Amino acid sequence: MGFDYCGISKADFLEEEAPRLENWLNKNMHGQMSYMQNYFDKRLDPRLLVPGAKSVISLLLNYFPSETQIDATAPKLSKYAYGLDYHLVIKEKLNHLLEFIKENIGEVDGRAFVDSAPVLDKAWAKKSGLGWIGKNSNLINKNSGSFYFIAELIVDLYLDADGPIKDYCGTCTRCIDACPTDAIVAPYVVDGSKCISYYTIELKESIPNDVKGKLNDWVFGCDICQDVCPWNSFSKPSTEPMFKPKEELMGMTKNDWQELTEATFKQVFKGSAVKRTKFEGLKRNIDFITHV
């Protein structure tokens, strides 16, 4: 299917994550992401999402690009948004995998998840030994870093579970030190409402003036805490052809971004995750970083 890593955990209540999630929500670290409050119980127990669930199969798919935006002064996009929308790419792969399991094992009930349902992807990937949660709250794989999409199949099939691995962050604080908006408020704790990704994607109203000059030219997402992570020196370019960036996107100059029209937006970002902001949202972000 092209996935890079696969790990398995027992479908059980996430005891360790329950108080952490509750505390995070109580401190309003989700900002306007009200959907994070929904389905609290389902987030912590996959058996409520898939009745009779026995196992969670976690998968990682590398999206690290082989190229970067040509104009170094142009507004920046998070690397995960360079190619085709990952939801479309991964959902298809997961459905193929579920069919493969059924063909080889028999009647198996299960559901595919890719970042669009109340599933704590990183917690399951960590439980299944695919990596540890870094101080920037991203899942880090010892061999390949953190530029991965995480997805799951939750199935009613007993499978031998893998175990977690240790944390290899050590005393490093590069991600915390590098965040321009101080969103990493403590090791392993990110205040989502201060994150550049939140300001540029999730926030629907005006970006607050107190972060003026702090977005470092990011207009969709942010990779700073991943770019500075030493473990990402092991990142290798993705071999998934659908994640290959469009030439016209990589070639956009600073001027092209500033003069972006709705027609160009629809053309360049067709099938892209960037459509989530809509044209007006992306324009708002571009204007915010260019008008000092």
What are the tens digits of pLDDT across the range 258-288? 999 999 999 999 999 999 999 999 999 999 9
Secondary structure of 234-262 in HEC code, one letter for each residue? HCCCCCCHHHCCCHHHHCCCHHHHHCCCH
Q: Please confirm, yes or no, whether 115 is among the known catalytic residues.
A: yes
Residue 32 is predicted with a pLDDT of 84
Q: How confident is the model at residue 292 (pLDDT cuts 50, 70, 90)?
A: low
Question: From the DSSP assignment, how many helices (H) and strands (E) are in the chain?
Answer: 11, 10
**Among 12, 115, 167, 217, the one annotated catalytic:** 115
Which residues, listed in sequence order, are joined to residue 190 by a DSSP beta bridge? 184
Q: What would the mean pLDDT of 171-183 be, rounded to a whole number?
A: 98
Residue 158's region, left for phi above 0, alpha for psi from -120 to 50, else beta, is beta
Q: What is the per-residue pLDDT for 116?
A: 77
Q: How far apart are CA 257 and CA 248, in angstroms?
A: 12
Strand 189-190 with 110-113, pairing: unpaired
Provide mean pLDDT across the span 33-40: 84
pLDDT of residue 31: 86
Which pLDDT band holds residue 179 (cuts at 50, 70, 90)? Answer: very high
Query: Does the pLDDT of residue 171 top 80, yes or no?
Result: yes
pLDDT > 80? residue 75? yes
Q: Output the pTM of the full model.
A: 0.94
CA distance 277 to 58: 28
Average pLDDT, integer, range 244-260: 94
Q: 57 to each of 43, 131, 138, how far by Cα in Å?
A: 16, 14, 19
Q: What percent of the chain has pLDDT over 70?
A: 100
Answer whether residue 185 shows pLDDT above 90.
yes
List C-alpha distances in Å: 289 to 40, 132, 197, 199, 251. Answer: 36, 34, 14, 12, 19
Summarize pLDDT for 108-138 with one digit per residue, the tens: 999 999 987 889 999 999 999 999 999 999 9
Mean pLDDT of 234-252: 94
Pick from 74, 80, 46: nearest CA to 60: 80
